[in-house]
Amino acid sequence: MHLSRFPRLHFAHLPTPLEPMERLSELLGGPRLWIKRDDCTGLAGGGNKTRKLEFLMAAAVADKADTIITQGATQSNHARQTAAIAAKLGMHCHILLEDRTGSADVEYNYNGNVLLDQLYDAPLKKYPAGTDMNAAMDELAAALKSAGRKPYIIPGGGSNPIGALGYVNAALELLYQSNAMGLQVDHVVHATGSAGTQAGLVAGLAGANSGIAVLGVGVRVAQEIQENNVFKLARATADYLGLAEVVKREQVVADCGYVGKGYGIPAESTIEAIELLARTEGILLDPVYSGKGMAGLIGMIRQGHFKASENIVFVHTGGAQALFGYRDAFDFPAYQ
Ligand SMILES: *Cc1c(COP(=O)(O)O)cnc(C)c1O
């Protein structure tokens, strides 16, 4: 596996730190918890989409694109990071937002990531939940082409084999870091949505024959659908790397018991996890992804899923910028 064979732009702040979470480990009574700070990738406040965009934007540049089209939910972190790198590269960026929650809250619709999308001067357009977003992007691309532009479509979450290379790279980075520290990693845990992060990690860690198990915590759909999405993309990513067959179905595991009422709606356990990480480690999680991912990790620890001696790495995929769109989800008292 040699990632330098693939076109890539270098703008992420890498390697991201791998740090112990001592107070949280102690509070939960083991295992040994570590955090891989992919919320600190540098671009637009950071997050997991930046790693994917290093490969995706290189493909767009190779294609001589002058305009990026992408899509996501209203508080999409992917949209924010894409708008930022498009601005830096002097490209236009059109963002199609699917209104998956139907929230009428002004903070949700205009603060957080949406405020930042607008700061990056990306035109936004809202679509009702359930819209065929890929068809909507194709339609916009056709209109822009007839207006003389050269659009490049990045799928939701940047999740295709090109984008997933960003997380193959993260897998190799984690192996290098843990080798250098003499740290034996047993499990990697993170929030999984559009599947590119988990697919890249699984392809990279399996391709390197690392023996490290990856556990996704779902934020949207049921387990079987999520695992199938991840497996399909992990296979396609491995194929793209010339490692066909390296990914086995049983290496793809997602726990979708922490979704709550649905995508973008924090559950009680999500809020508990966000508050706990803030108060024990000073770390900011988000209400859509990393808060649910951490709720999953905490839940599994409480159920005795891990041995006390094991080392667990939580990949912090970012998203804290969305907190400002979710003030309503927290029940803080008024002050005088
Ligand atoms: C997109 C996102 C995820 C999920 O990553 P996928 O590659 O879409 O599965 C997790 N956390 C945050 C903060 C995200 O923005």
Span from the CA of 70 to the centroid of ligand 1 (angstroms): 15
Q: What ranges in the chain are assigned the alpha helix state H?
A: 22-28, 49-62, 77-88, 106-110, 113-119, 133-146, 161-181, 196-207, 223-240, 268-281, 290-302
Strand order in the sheet with 18-20: 18-20, 32-36, 311-315, 187-192, 213-218, 253-255
pLDDT of residue 71 exceeding 90, the answer is yes
pLDDT of residue 1 exceeding 90, the answer is no
Q: How far apart are CA 212 and CA 89, in angstroms?
A: 36
Span from the CA of 333 to the centroid of ligand 1 (angstroms): 31
Assess whether the C-beta atom of 194 lies below 6 angstroms from ligand 1: yes
Ligand 1 atom closest to 216 (CA): 9
Ligand 1 atom closest to 39 (CA): 13
Can you tell me the mean pLDDT for 23-28?
Answer: 98
Q: What is the DSSP letter of 251?
A: G
Which pLDDT value is given to residue 219?
97
pLDDT band at residue 335 under the 50/70/90 scheme: very high
Can you tell me the mean pLDDT for 44-51?
Answer: 98
Which pLDDT value is given to residue 212?
98
Which pLDDT value is given to residue 229?
98
Can you tell me the mean pLDDT for 172-183?
Answer: 98
> One of 76, 159, 178, 290 is an active-site residue; which one?
76
pLDDT of residue 30 exceeding 90, the answer is no
> Where on the phi/psi map is residue 32: left (φ > 0), alpha (ψ -120 to 50), or beta?
beta
Residue nearest to ligand 1 atom 15, measured at CA: 77
Assess whether the C-beta atom of 52 lies below 6 angstroms from ligand 1: no
CA 6 to chain centre: 21
Count how many Cα atoms sit within 13 Å of the Cα of residue 162 in the half-sphere of its side chain: 18
How high does pLDDT run on average in the chain?
A: 97
Task: Let me know if 76 is a catalytic residue.
Answer: yes
Assess whether the C-beta atom of 41 lies below 6 angstroms from ligand 1: no
Q: What is the pLDDT of residues 261-295, one digit of tens each?
A: 999 999 999 999 999 999 999 999 999 999 999 99
Can you tell me the mean pLDDT for 4-22?
Answer: 98
Contact (Cβ atoms closer than 8 angstroms) between residue 317 and residue 289:
yes
Q: What is the pLDDT of residues 189-232, one digit of tens each?
A: 999 999 999 999 999 999 999 999 999 999 999 999 999 999 99
> The tokens 């700070």 sit on which residue?
37
Residue nearest to ligand 1 atom 8, measured at CA: 194
